[in-house]
Structure formats: C-alpha cells, structure tokens
C-alpha cells in the first residue's frame, strides 16, 4: 500500500490513492458526508455519497473527531472546495483507531483554547495544532543548522554523563539520585565535562542534551529539565573569541530557519524572522548599570551585581533603539555573581571574562573564558567557599596541560521562545517539567 501525502494530492488528479490521517471535521448531511482529513502535509475533503453505501454511511456517522483513518478514493477536481480545489471520492475506509468522544478539548478551535496547564495534561492533542507542528519542524532545522555550522568548523560532538558522583558547582539546585547503594546527582550542565574535552585536546566540542535544575521557580522562562546547547573551544585569547564565534553561529542558524520556514512562520506565528547582523552590540556590566541608572530603573537590592529580568528588558530596549539590534552581549560581570571557574580580568580582578547573551529582552546564554591554571582555579574555588574534595576530579583536569578555553551554555527552548515570539516557555518545549509537573 502506497500512502499519498495530502499535500501532494494535486499531482494525482483522477487517480485512486490511499491517504492516512486524522478526521478533523465531519459534516454529516442527509445524502452527503464530508470528512475533512488531516496529515502532516495538509487538509483534504473526502466526500461520501451515503445512499451508495448506507452501511458505511452509518459507520461514518459514529466516528469521533480526531479518529485515525485510512481512506482510499479517487482524487477529483472540485472548484468549489476551498482546500486546494479538489476532493477525494471515498471508496474504502478503515478505522485504525477510533477517537473517544468528546475530546478533552478541541485543539483546532483557536478562539477557545484552554489554559496551558490543561493543555499540558493532553499535550499530544495540543501538539496536533498547526502552530506546534511547525514549532518542532523549526526546532529540527534550527538544531541541524547549529550542528552544520559546528561541523564545518571542526567541532566534535560529545555526550557527557548526566549522572555524576559528586555535587558540582555550588551544590544548590541539584537533584539527588539513588545510585544502587549510594547518592549521586543529576548534572546541572555539561560544564565540567566539556572542559574535560578541552583538557583531552579535542579543541572544539559541542553537546545538545538535557540539563537538570532543582529550581523551585514558577516563572514563564524556567524549567527543571531543559535542552542545553553547549560548546567549548580551546586556544582562545579571551571571551571575545567565544562571542565572535557565537554570533556568527547564531546568525547562520537564523538564516537557515528563515530560508526553510520563513514564510510559514510569518503565516502561522505572524513573526518576520530577522537574520541578525554581526557583531552584536556589547555592553559592559558597568555600562549597563549606568544606562539603567540614567533611566531611573531600580534593580532589586538582592540582585547586587546582577541584572533582573526587568533590567534585561530595559537594556534590550535601549540597544534596540540605539543600534536596532535584537541581540546584545552584556560582558565583564563581577566575580560575585559568576561561578568560580570564570577567568578574571588580569587588570581588574573583581571582574570576570564573561558574558550573557540577551535576545529579545531574554537571557538565552551565559559564557566565559574559563580559568585553566590549576593553582588559580583552586584558589578561586576556595574563595567561593567550595569544598575541594567534591571537585578534585575536576581540578585534576588542569594538572597535565590544559589549554586556554571558553564556551557558552544556551537554552534551546528559550531560543525558540524568542525566535517565534512565544509568551511562555511551556509553549516551546515538547514536554514541560516544573516543580509540580512530572506528567505526562
């Protein structure tokens, strides 16, 4: 049996074809039954003349919306039909899986969609919406473009372990795992392991994989598990080398998405993908503070040295107006708000060689040059109050010839939020995980 995608039916006029998909709508009239069928490639009307086969007609009348069907029939021209000016004259129909009625909600009634939390309970129905199918097609191309650019630039792909034997970084926001008879932890990032790849002489690596944060936040941009886009490169001179690579890489990915799905994104999301120009503007944290101060923006006191989301947006607005850029690097963050492994400026040791990438007012990535000198790194860990015992395996990476290196970690779903203008990260991820959400 050869299946014909609905999107290519017009190449099969006057032929008998098999289509397979979902019954989106049934118009059940006295003599005629019209089944609007959907697959990944489009919609088509299937017509059944009831008196010709009353038994089949009765069966069709029982079908619930969203039932999975296999239909054969002849493709004919029908100018009055909106869906491409053609329809299928039904010959046979097989019910692969009858949908129960009623549906928990109608995913195609855009004006009456339930709130996201209810839709997440029935995520697979929610994913049947055109917007969501397109979102994951876009994600696929976005990631593939990122990997293409990495591969063209001699990167090696790694898969680092997600179960680790000791708490890394600060020990906060860690999920504990019962590992046979002992305690283990879920990796908060591939940070230590991509640095290990630098010590191994891999020179350039990337990883796309899950990242776990036991963060009890309920914001529109946090998840306890997300897909991280991570890279690390060796033999850099400063964080500027990392930023210079990052912006070109992102530009390439945006370009490929626009080429592939630009017009569909315009039609479905109403968003015109703008391929960013490089270099992105850079502001030091000191400059960012001065701008916020001049605007009268007050950072919450507990954020000393850091930016809050409102501050990020205010700075982004400033940069958008001044440089017409949706992207912005905020660089040279104070050591107080950066982890111990960020390298410090030799001439301003209270500042790190670090950056955040802000896109559309949202922080999407954090990067830095890393400290690769064993003794300095050890000292910086001690200053941050870390127990060396837990991180000795990591410090050991720097004992036998570690090159200067740096990289970034980025959140895939945050990039999609910004790219497609989505209000909530729950809309841009296959299955959301939060403090209260572990199903489906």
- Hey, which residues between 88 and 107 contact a second copy (CB under 8 A)? 96-100, 103-104
Q: Which of 13, 32, 172, 200 binds a second copy (CB under 8 A)?
A: 200
Count, residues near a second copy per rule CB under 8 A: 99
Q: Which of 186, 330, 331, 335 binds a second copy (CB under 8 A)?
A: 186
Binding to a second copy by residue 201, rule CB under 8 A?
yes
Would the annotation count 414 as a binding residue?
Answer: yes
Binding to a second copy by residue 306, rule CB under 8 A?
no
Which 15-34 positions form the footprint of a second copy (CB under 8 A)?
A: 20-23
Binding to a second copy by residue 294, rule CB under 8 A?
no
Q: Which of 372, 378, 414, 426 binds a second copy (CB under 8 A)?
A: 372
Strands 354-359 and 362-370: antiparallel
Closest C-alpha to 205, from 241, 243, 156: 156
Neighbours of 285 (CB within 10 A): 21
Task: Count CA atoms within 13 Å of residue 73 on its CB side.
Answer: 27
Binding to a second copy by residue 281, rule CB under 8 A?
no
Binding to a second copy by residue 404, rule CB under 8 A?
yes
Binding to a second copy by residue 188, rule CB under 8 A?
no
Which 406-425 positions form the footprint of a second copy (CB under 8 A)?
A: 412
User: What is the spatial distance between Cα 163 and Cα 152, in angstroms, rounded to a whole number?
Assistant: 31
Going by the DSSP 8-state scheme, the letter that residue 346 receives in this structure is T
User: What is the spatial distance between Cα 289 and Cα 236, in angstroms, rounded to a whole number?
Assistant: 28
8-16, 110-118, 174-182, 336-344 -> range binding a second copy (CB under 8 A): 174-182
Q: Which of 13, 32, 59, 163 binds a second copy (CB under 8 A)?
A: 163
Going by the DSSP 8-state scheme, the letter that residue 351 receives in this structure is E
Neighbours of 311 (CB within 10 A): 22
For a second copy, the closer CB: 33 or 428: 428
User: What is the spatial distance between Cα 426 and Cα 222, in angstroms, rounded to a whole number?
Assistant: 9
Neighbours of 355 (CB within 10 A): 29
Q: Tokens 């009625």 map to which residue?
A: 101
Which 342-361 positions form the footprint of a second copy (CB under 8 A)?
A: none
26-34, 73-81, 111-119, 397-405 -> range binding a second copy (CB under 8 A): 397-405
Q: Which of 44, 199, 253, 410 binds a second copy (CB under 8 A)?
A: 199
Binding to a second copy by residue 171, rule CB under 8 A?
no
Task: Count CA atoms within 13 Å of residue 368 on its CB side.
Answer: 23
Two tokens, residue 179: 């590992």
Strands 225-234 and 405-411: antiparallel
Would the annotation count 25 as a binding residue?
Answer: no
For a second copy, the closer CB: 34 or 393: 393
Binding to a second copy by residue 431, rule CB under 8 A?
yes
CB of 292 to a second copy, least distance (A): 34
Two tokens, residue 301: 């006191």
Binding to a second copy by residue 237, rule CB under 8 A?
yes
Binding to a second copy by residue 157, rule CB under 8 A?
yes
CB of 217 to a second copy, least distance (A): 12
User: What is the spatial distance between Cα 81 and Cα 83, in angstroms, rounded to a whole number?
Assistant: 6
Binding to a second copy by residue 136, rule CB under 8 A?
yes
Q: What is the DSSP string of 21-49?
A: EEEEEEEE-SSEEEEEEEETTEEEEEEEE
What does residue 188 show for φ and ψ, rounded to 5 degrees?
A: -80, -15
Helix (H) or strand (E) holding 329: strand 327-331
Binding to a second copy by residue 255, rule CB under 8 A?
no
Would the annotation count 370 as a binding residue?
Answer: yes
46-54, 79-87, 149-157, 348-356 -> range binding a second copy (CB under 8 A): 149-157
**In DSSP terms, which residues pair with 94 in a beta bridge?**
70
Binding to a second copy by residue 203, rule CB under 8 A?
yes
User: What is the spatial distance between Cα 426 and Cα 116, in angstroms, rounded to a whole number?
Assistant: 7
Would the annotation count 207 as a binding residue?
Answer: no
Would the annotation count 344 as a binding residue?
Answer: no
Q: Which of 35, 257, 402, 420 binds a second copy (CB under 8 A)?
A: 402
CB-based contact 174:188 (threshold 8 Å): yes
120-128, 264-272, 288-296, 379-387 -> range binding a second copy (CB under 8 A): 120-128
Q: Which of 33, 191, 224, 352 binds a second copy (CB under 8 A)?
A: 224
Binding to a second copy by residue 81, rule CB under 8 A?
no
CB of 65 to a second copy, least distance (A): 8
Closest C-alpha to 364, from 414, 307, 428, 427: 414
Binding to a second copy by residue 108, rule CB under 8 A?
no
CB-based contact 188:169 (threshold 8 Å): yes
CB-based contact 118:126 (threshold 8 Å): no
CB-based contact 332:283 (threshold 8 Å): no
Binding site, annotated residues:
169, 213, 363, 366, 370, 411-414
């Amino acid at each position: 049996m050869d299946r014909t995608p609905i999107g290519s039916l017009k190449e099969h006029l006057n032929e008998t074809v098999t289509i397979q998909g979902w019954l989106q709508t049934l118009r059940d009239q006295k003599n005629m039954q019209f089944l609007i069928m959907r697959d990944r490639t489009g919609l088509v009307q299937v017509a059944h003349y009831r008196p010709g086969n009353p038994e089949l007609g009765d069966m069709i009348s029982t079908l619930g919306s969203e039932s999975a069907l296999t239909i054969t029939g002849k493709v004919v021209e029908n100018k009055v039909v909106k869906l491409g000016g053609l329809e299928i004259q039904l010959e046979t129909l097989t019910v692969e899986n009858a949908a129960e009625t009623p549906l928990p909600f109608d995913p195609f009634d855009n004006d009456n969609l339930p709130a996201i939390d209810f839709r997440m309970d029935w995520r697979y129905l929610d994913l049947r919406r055109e917007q969501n199918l397109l979102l994951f097609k876009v994600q696929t191309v976005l990631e593939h473009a990122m990997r293409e650019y990495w591969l063209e630039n001699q990167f090696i792909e790694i898969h680092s372990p997600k179960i680790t034997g000791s708490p890394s970084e600060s020990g906060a926001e860690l999920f504990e795992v019962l590992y046979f008879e002992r305690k283990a932890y879920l990796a908060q990032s591939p940070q230590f392991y991509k640095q290990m790849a630098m010590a191994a002489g891999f020179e350039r690596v990337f990883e796309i994989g899950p990242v776990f944060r036991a963060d009890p936040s309920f914001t529109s941009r946090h998840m306890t598990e997300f897909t991280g886009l991570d890279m690390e490169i060796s033999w850099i001179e400063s964080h500027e080398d990392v930023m210079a690579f990052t912006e070109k890489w992102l530009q390439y990915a945006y370009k490929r998405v626009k080429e592939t799905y630009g017009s569909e994104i315009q039609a479905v999301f109403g968003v015109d993908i703008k391929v960013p120009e490089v270099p992105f503007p850079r502001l030091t944290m000191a400059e960012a503070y001065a701008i916020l101060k001049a605007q009268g923006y007050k950072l919450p006191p507990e954020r000393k040295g850091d930016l809050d989301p409102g501050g990020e947006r205010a700075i982004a607005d400033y940069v958008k107006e001044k440089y017409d850029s949706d992207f912005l690097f905020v660089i040279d963050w104070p050591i107080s708000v950066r982890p111990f492994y960020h390298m410090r400026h030799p001439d301003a040791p209270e500042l790190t060689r670090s950056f955040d990438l802000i896109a559309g007012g949202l922080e999407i990535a954090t990067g830095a040059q890393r400290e690769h000198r064993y003794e300095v790194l050890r000292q910086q860990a001690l200053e941050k109050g870390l127990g060396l015992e837990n991180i000795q395996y990591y410090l050991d990476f720097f004992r036998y010839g570690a090159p200067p290196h740096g990289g970034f970690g980025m959140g895939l779903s945050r990039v999609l939020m910004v790219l497609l203008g989505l209000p909530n990260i729950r809309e841009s991820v296959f299955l959301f995980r939060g403090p209260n959400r572990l199903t489906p």
